[in-house]
Amino acid sequence: MAKLYFYYASMNAGKSTNLLQADFNYRERGMATMRWTAAIDTRGEQPIASRLGLSADAHLFGPDTDLWSAVTTRHEQAPLACVLVDEAQFLSPDQAWQCARLADEANIPVLCYGLRTDFQGHLFVGSAVLLGIADTLVELKAVCHCGRKATMNLRLDEHGSAVRSGAQTQIGGNERYVALCRRHFAQGLGLYRSAAGAPT
């Protein structure tokens, strides 16, 4: 029985690197895969690229992409051993359920990789659904500057100051986001205050 996996983490935890390694392992054994990533992410020449310099082409999904139809059509032409989805936080609820259906009804393992929360600590819609329905949840680890596990993504403006409001999605890398533990994330946003009302 195939499963739906959700690998989640903060920025810079190696999500794309892990996806590309898993993809390589399948292909090295002669098994066909199908890679997907969000069309909204236009940072690199290759649709999937890791900070280590690994990259690969991929199919792009937008809000109206029917993943079930696209994958099953390809699967009928040449059997797929696995489907891998990068930037899975941008999946719509319907698309997340299509990933589950691919595992349940087409018997194709689906490996989704994405951020859990945005720059305000709110769940992304796609991530929220995957956290609820995935067979297997795997947290990939990043490290805060203090040495603790980084679980949050702080957005920075052009001056390096924390951004507290705005659109949920703003494409960027290390120049725009920093991965922090919950404590330093909350301090960066001024969420933790002393009895006197001053940030701690």
Catalytic positions? 87
106/119 Cα distance (integer angstroms): 35
Q: How many CB atoms lie within 10 A of CB 135?
A: 15
- Contact present, 15 and 9 (Cβ < 8 Å): yes
DSSP string over 62-114: -TT--HHHHHHHHHHHS--SEEEESSGGG--HHHHHHHHHHHHTS---EEEEE
Q: How many CB atoms lie within 10 A of CB 195?
A: 6
Report DSSP state, residue 200.
-
Residue 153, strand partner residues: 179
